[in-house]
Amino acid sequence: MIKENNFNFKGVWAKYSDYEIIKSNDEFYVRATKKSKITTFDIYNVNKKLLVDFLLIGRETLKYTNERDIECNLMSTEEKYQKMVLDFVKKYGLLGDLSYPLLNSNIISSGEVYLQGYSEVNKISANNYIKPFFIEDENIKNIDFNNGINENILKYVYSTDLPIELSNKPEEMNLIFSKAYTEKISRILFYSKQLYKIFEYTENSITEKNEDKKAIYKKFASEFVPNNIAFMFDLNDDKVALNWQFSSLKQAMEVLLGFNESNDRKELKMCKHCGKPFIAKNLKAEYDTISCRNIANVYKNREKNK
């Protein structure tokens, strides 16, 4: 990854010490528990493990589903997949689904949200956009998000112990790091599947021998475009670092995956036999386990002896 090439990068994200699953209108969500404490971490210290853990969820999700969202909704009712998502969120926090697609910032002050549609920019009210991320909270249900920050937003929404590293972020970051903020499990599963597919297409576009298949993999991989990226200088600790001002964990994982796939010395790989993402201790490694390597060699020998 880039960090091993002696660049000084940093990217701060926050998570709570504990999360829970809640059910509302037959759908399942994740949010921080009321007694949990917020902490920050640098995603560059965990970048490969972060990607592997999330791509493993995507791989499992892809086994169960095709392109239809409804299958992710069904998966979200099962304890197995709820646990996978909850374990990930407890390690790294929620994905920042609220801020990920935004074309504008400080959405409460503006009272409007701009989102990129298929062929045009769509505008909706801040109320209509924000409230679906705050499920089962009566205090927030009647808050007006369309006319600037008010006392009820400060009292019931904003975190009172937001770390100083996040204190100067746009308003929507205060929403994401609110204890009342929720994300739908089915959407996390769907996004994990989409990111794994990009990983799989990119890896296969490199290793595939059949030129027709290779062209198809390249076509799908080339459609991957990471979301808006912003860097700024950080001049602490007697060194210059690029401080990444990412707006969501979703955005961060997309760019980290892009860094990995474009690196000639990448450590995050996909097993050529079973498709499992793994961190390679040897840069020439092609399989995640000895068992996968041996099975693959058996298949190769059979093909030679035909």
| DSSP notation for the chain | -GGGGT--EE-EEEEES-EEEEEETTEEEEEE-TT--EEEEEGGGSHHHHHHHHHHHHHHHHHH--S-HHHHHHHTTSHHHHHHHHHHHHHH----TTTTTBSSS-HHHH-EEEEE-SSSEEEEEHHHHHGGGSTT-HHHHT---SSS--HHHHHHTS-TT--GGGTTS-HHHHHHTSTT--EEHHHHHHHHHHHHHHHHHHHHHHH---HHHHHHHHHHHHT-------EEEE--TTS-EEEE--S-HHHHHHHHHHHHHT-TT--EEE-TTT--EEE-SSTT---SSHHHHHHHHHHHHHHHH-
What's the structural domain count of the chain? 1
% the chain with pLDDT above 90:
49
- As a whole number, the mean pLDDT across the chain is 86
Per-residue pLDDT, 158: 87
Output the pTM of the full model. Answer: 0.84
Residue 203 lies in a domain: no
176 domain-assigned: yes
Question: Does 151 reside within a domain?
Answer: yes
Structural domain range at position 162: 2-193+231-246
109 pLDDT band (50/70/90 cuts)?
Answer: very high
The pLDDT value recorded for residue 30 is: 98
User: Residue 215's pLDDT is what?
Assistant: 86
Task: Report the range of poorest mean pLDDT among 98-107, 108-117, 153-162, 223-232.
Answer: 223-232
In-domain check, residue 270: no
More confident residue, 33 or 242: 33
Does residue 268 belong to any structural domain of this protein?
A: no
